[in-house]
């Protein structure tokens, strides 16, 4: 840390030093007094991306889920986490956990994964000060997945597993960069009417952009989520549409208004798998690595590998051995898969 930065940190108070000291890493921010990794046995996932990482990396340390999971999604997860309760979240769109409840749970660590800007650092610092509990904030960008896994694994005492998952994540990212997918310019349809989408550089569109595809909404510039009009979409003329959930997929396919788009008329509308977590988003966590495999399989040269790669991912990351019926349900509707 430069002398000027150090003096500024001292001026605002010593409680900010942990955040400023770790900011040079740009991936992991620590607040409060953390325990040695060997003593971290109970971890509270502050939000959905953190829960996915914890479920994959150290399921035996997970206290519960930040949001409710239906029975179908739970059935695709390891028994270690399948029956954990829904205990609420601290991050995301509003906290649902009173601090008294959090203290009563007595976690050894609070883990948060996702945006790591000043807003989330402030939340982490304030909560750690009020509860006396350490908070680990990890930048959740998809391209940084291998580092996320290694850094979190070191703090959870599961380095061997973390390295194995990190190497697999590196292989997925390399494949995505090498060949992308054959979908042409795409539109990511979200919201109840399909007119909500992620702009360029949005964490919600990150998987599509990492796969080498053009996100047509990036033409509006960088940002997060945005509302658009159907007229705007007609002007963009995306080659393919990716729907966030099955109900939206049905709406777009059946709507007379959406038939004005050639992509809809010609059947290039696809429902992104959502179990046990969204494959391209929902939440924006490690689950999106599987979405990169799904996107790559639209290229006929790589389609045949998809079923085996889905099996491998579920076994390694989710601790779940898929049977043939489960695999068929997950890949139903993918035109490049023999299971579609």
Same domain, 226 and 110: no
Query: What residues form DSSP beta bridges with 58?
Result: none
Total tally of structural domains belonging to the chain: 2
Q: How far apart are CA 310 and CA 327, in angstroms?
A: 8
pLDDT value for 5: 37
Higher pLDDT, 303 or 104: 104
Contact 190, 197 (CB under 8 A): yes
Taking residue 233's Cβ as centre, other Cβ atoms within 10 Å add up to 22
| pLDDT, position 189 | 97
CB atoms within 10 A of CB 265: 11
Looking at residue 25, its pLDDT comes to 58
Written as six digits, the tokens of 81 are 């986490």
**In the predicted model, what is the mean pLDDT of the chain?**
89
> What DSSP character marks residue 36?
P
Look at residue 303 in the predicted model and tell me its pLDDT: 87
Residue in the block written with tokens 């749970």? 105
Mean pLDDT of all residues in 66-75: 96
The reported pLDDT for the residue numbered 177 is 80
Rounded CA gap, 272 and 133, in Å?
38
Q: Report, as an integer, the average pLDDT of 7-29.
A: 48
Q: In whole angstroms, give the CA distance from residue 270 to residue 297.
A: 13
Domain co-membership, 96 together with 34: yes
What backbone phi and psi angles, to 5 degrees, belong to 235? -70, -35
Instruction: Determine if the peptide bond prior to 158 is cis (ω within 30°).
Output: no
Identify whether residues 128 and 196 lie together within a single domain: no
* pLDDT above 80 for 299: yes
Let me know if 212 is exposed, middle or buried by CB neighbors in 10 A (0-12, 13-18, 19+): middle
In a domain, 157, yes or no: no
336 pLDDT exceeds 50?
A: yes
What average pLDDT does the segment 254-268 reach?
95
CATH classification at residue 133: 3.40.50.1980
Model confidence at 7, pLDDT cuts 50, 70, 90, reads: very low
- pLDDT category at 335 given cuts 50, 70, 90 is confident
The Cα–Cα gap between 110 and 129 comes to 13
Question: 92-148 pLDDT, tens per residue?
Answer: 667 899 999 999 999 999 999 998 999 999 999 999 999 999 999 999 999 999 999
Based on the domain organization, do 213 and 90 belong to the same domain? no
The answer to whether residues 184 and 316 belong to one domain is yes
CA 197 – CA 311 distance, rounded (Å)? 30
Task: Give the sign of the dihedral formed by CA 283, CA 286, CA 291, CA 296.
Answer: positive
Q: By CB neighbour count within 10 A (0-12 exposed, 13-18 middle, 19+ buried), where does 36 fall? A: exposed
Paired tokens of 118: 């000043």
Q: Do 192 and 247 sit in the same domain of this protein? A: yes
What's the rounded Cα separation, in Å, for the pair 326 and 306?
14
Q: Give residue-wise pLDDT tens across range 176-214.
A: 886 666 799 999 999 999 999 999 999 999 999 999 999
Structure token pair of residue 106? 């007595």
Please indicate, yes or no, whether residues 312 and 258 belong to a single structural domain of this protein: yes
Where would I find the H helices in 157-287? 159-179, 206-210, 230-236, 246-254, 262-265
Residue 238 sits in the same domain as residue 325: yes
277 in the same domain as 201: yes
Angle at 241 between CA 278 and CA 194, to 5 degrees: 75
Pair 209, 95 in one domain: no
Going by pLDDT thresholds of 50, 70 and 90, the confidence category of residue 338 is: low
Q: DSSP assignment of 328-339, as one string?
A: HHHHTT-TTSTT
The pLDDT of 285-290, averaged and rounded, is: 97
Rounded-to-integer distance, Cα 90 and Cα 46, Å: 5
Q: Look at residue 158 and tell me if it is in a domain.
A: no
Do the domain assignments include residue 339? no
Band (pLDDT 50/70/90 cuts) for residue 333 is: confident
| Residue range of the domain that includes 273 | 180-331
3 pLDDT above the threshold of 50 = no
191 and 63 in one domain? no
> Is 170 inside a domain boundary?
no
The C-alpha torsion from 281 through 286 and 290 to 295, rounded to 10°, is 50
Last residue of some domain: 96, 117, 143? 143
Domain shared by 84 and 192, yes or no: no
């Amino acid at each position: 840390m430069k002398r000027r930065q150090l003096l500024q940190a001292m001026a605002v108070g010593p409680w900010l030093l942990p955040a400023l000291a770790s900011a040079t890493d740009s991936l992991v921010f620590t607040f409060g007094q953390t325990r040695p990794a060997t003593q971290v046995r109970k971890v509270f996932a502050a939000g959905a991306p953190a829960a996915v990482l914890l479920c994959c990396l150290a399921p035996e340390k997970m206290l519960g889920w930040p949001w409710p999971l239906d029975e179908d999604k739970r059935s695709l997860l390891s028994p270690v986490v399948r029956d954990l309760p829904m205990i609420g979240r601290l991050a995301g769109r509003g906290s649902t956990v009173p601090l008294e409840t959090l203290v009563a749970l007595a976690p050894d660590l609070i883990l948060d994964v996702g945006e790591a800007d000043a807003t989330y650092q402030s939340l982490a610092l304030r909560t750690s000060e009020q509860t006396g509990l350490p908070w680990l904030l990890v930048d959740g960008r998809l391209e940084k997945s291998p580092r996320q896994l290694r850094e979190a694994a070191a703090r959870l005492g599961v380095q061997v597993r973390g390295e194995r998952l990190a190497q697999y994540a590196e292989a997925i990212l390399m494949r995505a960069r090498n060949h992308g997918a054959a979908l042409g310019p795409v539109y990511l349809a979200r919201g109840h009417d399909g007119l909500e989408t992620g702009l360029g550089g949005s964490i919600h569109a990150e998987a599509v952009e990492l796969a080498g595809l053009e996100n047509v909404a990036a033409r509006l510039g960088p940002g997060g989520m945005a509302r658009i009009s159907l007229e705007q979409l007609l002007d963009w003329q995306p080659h393919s549409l990716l729907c966030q959930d099955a109900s939206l997929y049905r709406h777009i396919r059946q709507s007379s208004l959406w038939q004005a788009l050639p992509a809809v008329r010609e059947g290039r509308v696809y429902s992104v798998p959502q179990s046990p977590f969204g494959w391209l988003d929902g939440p924006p966590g490690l689950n999106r690595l599987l979405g990169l495999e799904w996107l790559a399989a639209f290229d006929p040269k790589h389609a045949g590998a998809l079923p085996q790669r889905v099996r491998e991912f579920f076994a390694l990351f989710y601790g779940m051995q898929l049977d043939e019926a489960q695999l068929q349900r997950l890949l139903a509707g993918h035109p490049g898969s023999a299971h579609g």
